[in-house]
A and B are shown apart, each in its own frame.
Chain A
Amino acid sequence: MNALVVSPLIIPLATLVATLLARRAPRLVAALSLLGALALTAAGLALVGLAAQGEILASQAGGWAAPYGITLVIDRLSAVMVAITGIVGLATLVFALAHDDDPARCRDFHPLVHGLLVGVCGAFITGDVFNLYVWFEVLLVGSFALLVLGGGKRRLSGTVVYVVLNLVATMMFLLAAGMLYGATGSLNMALLARAFAAGEVPITAHAAVVLMLTAFSIKAALFPVFGWLPASYHVAWTPVSALFAGLLTKVGVYALIRIVTLFWPDAGVAHEVLLWVACATMLIGVLGAAAQTEVRRILSFHIVSQVGYMILGLALATPLALAGAVFYLIHHIVVKANLFFIGGIAARLTGSERLAAMGGLYARAPWLALLFAIPALSLAGIPPLSGFWAKLVLVKASLETSAWIAAAVALVTGIFTLLSMSKIWNEAFLKPHPAGREGERSAAGLQPAVWAVSVLAAMTVLIGLAAGPVMDYAVAAAEQLTTPLGYINAVIRAGGR
C-alpha cells in the first residue's frame, strides 16, 4: 500500500502522540506541532502533485480487498483538500504562538488540533461510508474539546449547543450508514456507486442517502439547519474559531459533493432541492450577518452564506459548476480562516470585538487594514482576488443552465457581503476608538499572528492572480467528479470486486 496515501492520517496522528508525550516541555510541544503541520502540508502538496497527473490513487487498508477492507482514495479533490487542511492547520498553530500567554491552554491546544486534523484528513481520503462516520466522530471529539478550551460560562454554553446538535447529526449519519448496508450489503463508496449506476439498489437505499445528505447538511450548516454555527463559533478561542471556520463546515460540504456526485451523478430531484437550499442559505446567511454587531458573529453568518455558493455549484451539477464549487472551497477555506485571524488581532489591539467598542485601527495599524482589505474584498468577490473568479464561474454556470434566480441570488449576496465587510471596516478601522487613546492596547508579541495572516493574504492574492492554473486544476477535479466511473475503476483495480 502506498505510504503517501496514508500519510495524511499517519502524520497528524504521530504528531498527536509526540505532543502528548512532550507535555512537560511547552516549547518542544510547539516545535513538534509546527513540524507535524509542516509535514502534513508537504504531504498534501505532494499528493496534489501526484493527483494533478490525472491518476486516482486508491489503496486498501491492511491489504484487505474491498468490500471487507477499508478503501482510501485520493483524487484531485481529496488531494487539494488535504493540502489546504495542512496549510490552514499550520497557519492556526503559528497564529496561536502569538497568544501563548496561558501555558496550560497551549499544552492542550496542540495535541487537540492534530487530533482534529486526523479526523478532517481521514474524512477527505476515505472511500468507505462507515469509515467516513468514524472520521466524523474523530474530528467531532477534537472539536468539542477545542471549542470549550479555556473555559468560562459563555464558552461552555456555546459548546452545549454545538455538542447536542452535532451529536444528533452524527446519529442520523450512523443510521443512514446502517440502512444503506442493510439495503445494499456494501459500504464501499465505489461499489455502492456502481450499484446505484446500474439501478440495482432498492428504494430504501435512496432513502438512506436522503438521510445521509440531511446529516451532512447539518454539518455543512445549510439552510434551514445552520442555527448551531452562529450560536457557537464566536465563543471559542480565536485560533480555534478560525480553524473551525476554515475547515469544519467544509468537511460537510466535501461529504455532500462526494456522495451526491458518486451516487446521484445525474441531475434530478435532489439537485433541484439542493439548488433552492443553496439560494436560501446564501441569502439568509448574509441577511443574518447584517443584524450582527460583533466581528466574529458577522463572520460566522458569512460562513453559512458562503457555504451556499459551494452547494450551488453542486446543485447545478455541470462540470463548470462543480469546478466553481471546488475553486470556491479552496479559496474560501483560506479567506475565512484569515478573516477570523484578523478579527482576533483587531480585538487584541482594541480590547473588544464588539464593533461599537472598537475603532481607530486604520490610523494605528494601517498594515492590519491592508491585511483585512484583501480577504474581505476577496470574500465579497472583487476582482482580481480569488473570490471574484470563484463567483464568476458559479454565476456563469448558473446562467448556462438557465438558473436565473440562482445567478441573481449569488450576485445580490455578493453585494450584501460587501456591505457587511464595509460595516466592519467603518466601525473597527475608520471610526476613532470610542475610549480615545486610552482604549488602545499594545501590539507586542503579535508578530507570529501577523506572519500567519500575511501568508494567507498572500495566498489569496496569488490564487487571484494565478487563477488560470488553479482553475485548470479545479476543472480537472470536476471532470473526475462528473465521471464517477474513473473513481470506481481505480478502487476496483486496488483490490475491490
Chain B
Amino acid sequence: MEIIVSITVGVLVAIGIWMMLDRGLLRVVLGVIVLGNGVNLAVFSAGRLDGRAAAFVTEAGAPALAANPLPQALVLTAIVIGFALFVFALAVLKRSWELHDNVETDRITAVAEEPSPDLPAPPVPAGADAGRRTAGGKRAPTTAGTPAAHEDGTT
C-alpha cells in the first residue's frame, strides 16, 4: 500500500512540475493543483495507511490497528485552504484571459516588467483642488465609475 501511494505521490508531483513548466498559464495553474494534490496525499500517508479500527481512544488506550487521525485532519485543512487558493488562481486566470489576448507566461512576465505608466493627470487644476475633494467624497460613484482612468495608475 505504501509503495503504491509513494509512487502515486511521485507521479503526481512530477506531472505537476512538468505542467508548471508549460508556456500556457492554464497549464501552470492546473499544474499547481496537481502538485498540491500530490503533497496532500503525501501528508495523508504520514499517519499510517492500513488502519482498520476507528481511532477512538477508550479506557484501555488507543486501538493498535487505528491509523493516526491527526494527518487526516491536517489534510482536510490543507484541502480546504487549497480549494480557496485554487478558486483565486482561476479568477486571476480568467481576468488575464480577458485583459491579454493570449495567456502565455512569457507575455505575463513581459507585461509585469513594462516601465510604469505615468499617473493620470489630475482632472482639475490645482486651484480647485479643495472643492474637488469634498465633491469626490460625497459623490463617490462618479470617481468609481471610471476605473479605466486608474487602471494602471501606480499610487
Binding site for B on A (CB under 8 A): 26, 99, 101-104, 130, 133-134, 137, 140-141, 144-145, 148, 150-161, 163-164, 167-168, 171, 174-175, 177-179, 181-182, 185, 231-232, 234-235, 237-238, 293-294, 296, 344, 347-348, 351-354, 357, 441-442, 444-445
Contacts and interface: CB of A to CB of B under 8 A. Distances in A.
A442 B155 CA distance: 14
Contacts of A179: 42, 46
A104 B144 CA distance: 6
A76 B70 CA distance: 31
A145 B121 CA distance: 27
Interface in B114-155: 114-119, 121-122, 126, 129-130, 133, 136, 140, 143-144, 147, 150-155
B32 A157 contact: no
B92 interface: yes
Contact of B154 (A102, A174, A353, A441): A353
Nearest to A175: B39
A157 B71 CA distance: 36
Nearest to A295: B116
Contacts, number: 162
Contacts of A140: 85
B46 to A, nearest CB: 3
The 8 closest A-B pairs by CB, nearest first: A178-B43, A182-B46, A444-B129, A157-B112, A442-B126, A157-B111, A152-B151, A103-B140
B136 A160 contact: no
A344 B39 CA distance: 40
Given A103-B140, A354-B116, A159 B92 contact: yes
B143 A161 contact: no
B58 interface: no
Contacts of B74: 130, 177-178, 181
Contacts of B108: 157, 160-161
Nearest to A236: B154
A171 B122 CA distance: 44
Given A160-B112, A174-B43, A182-B45, 12 more contacts: A137-B85, A152-B151, A154-B114, A156-B95, A164-B20, A175-B39, A177-B43, A181-B47, A181-B71, A235-B112, A352-B119, A441-B121
A178 B150 contact: no
B18 interface: no
Contacts of B99: 153, 156
Nearest to A159: B92
A130 B72 CA distance: 13
A161 B109 CA distance: 7
Contact of B32 (A137, A167, A294): A167
Given A157-B109, A234-B116, A445-B129, A347 B25 contact: no
B102 interface: no
Contacts of B40: 174
B89 A161 contact: no
Interface bracket on B: 35 or more
Nearest to A103: B140
A160 B147 CA distance: 21
B85 A158 contact: no
A348 B155 contact: yes
A351 B121 contact: yes
Contacts of A347: 119, 154-155
Contact of B111 (A133, A154, A293, A351): A154
A152 B116 CA distance: 12
Q: Considering residues B117, B130, B154, which has the most beta carbons from chain A within 10 angstroms of its beta carbon?
A: B154
Contacts of B43: 174-175, 177-178, 181
B100 interface: yes
A353 B92 CA distance: 26
A167 B114 CA distance: 24
Contacts of B117: 154
B78 A174 contact: yes
A195 to B, nearest CB: 16
B54 to A, nearest CB: 18
Interface in B6-56: 20, 25, 28-29, 32, 35-36, 39-40, 42-47
Contacts of B129: 442, 444-445
B111 A153 contact: yes
B20 A99 contact: no
Q: Considering residues A26, A101, A231, which has the most beta carbons from chain B within 10 angstroms of its beta carbon?
A: A101
24 contacts: A133-B78, A141-B85, A144-B85, A144-B92, A148-B92, A152-B153, A153-B151, A157-B109, A157-B112, A164-B29, A164-B32, A168-B20, A174-B39, A175-B42, A178-B71, A179-B42, A181-B70, A182-B71, A232-B112, A238-B154, A344-B155, A347-B119, A352-B119, A353-B116
B59 interface: no
Contacts of B36: 167, 171
A271 B70 CA distance: 32
A420 to B, nearest CB: 18
Contacts of B28: 164
Contact of B118 (A99, A133, A155, A351): A351
Contacts of B84: 141
A148 B152 CA distance: 11
Contacts of A351: 118-119, 121
A167 B85 contact: yes
A231 B115 contact: no
Nearest to B32: A167
A160 B92 contact: yes
